[in-house]
């Protein structure tokens, strides 16, 4: 099962690229770096930790 690389921040809806910075929780909730910092790396949906999302090379 592959990691879903969501294309927008769930909080501010800024566009995210597969090779750009983003954070995810264990449920794959996805946030931009600014929102992750504002939320102190805590997912507002599940309360879990937000960690740096792995990057994929752009197609």
**Band of residue 59 on the pLDDT scale cut at 50, 70, 90:** low
Domains held by the chain: number: 1
Residue 10: pLDDT over 80: yes
Looking up tokens 């690229």 gives 17
DSSP string computed for 25-51: -TT--EE-HHHHHHTTTB-TTT--B-E
Structure confidence by residue, pLDDT tens digits, 12-33? 999 999 899 999 999 999 999 9
pTM, whole model, 2 decimals? 0.89
Please report how many Cα atoms fall inside a 13 Å half-sphere around the Cα of residue 31, on the Cβ side: 25
CATH of the domain at 18: 3.30.40
Residue 50: pLDDT over 90: yes
Range of the domain at 39: 1-59
> What's the CA gap between 42 and 37, in Å, rounded?
9
- Tell me what pLDDT residue 55 has: 86
């Amino acid at each position: 099962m592959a990691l879903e690389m969501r294309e927008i921040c769930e909080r501010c809806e800024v566009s995210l690229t597969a090779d750009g910075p983003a954070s995810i929780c264990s449920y794959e909730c996805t946030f931009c770096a600014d929102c992750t910092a504002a939320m102190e790396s805590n997912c507002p949906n599940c309360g879990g930790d937000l960690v740096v999302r792995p990057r994929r090379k752009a197609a």
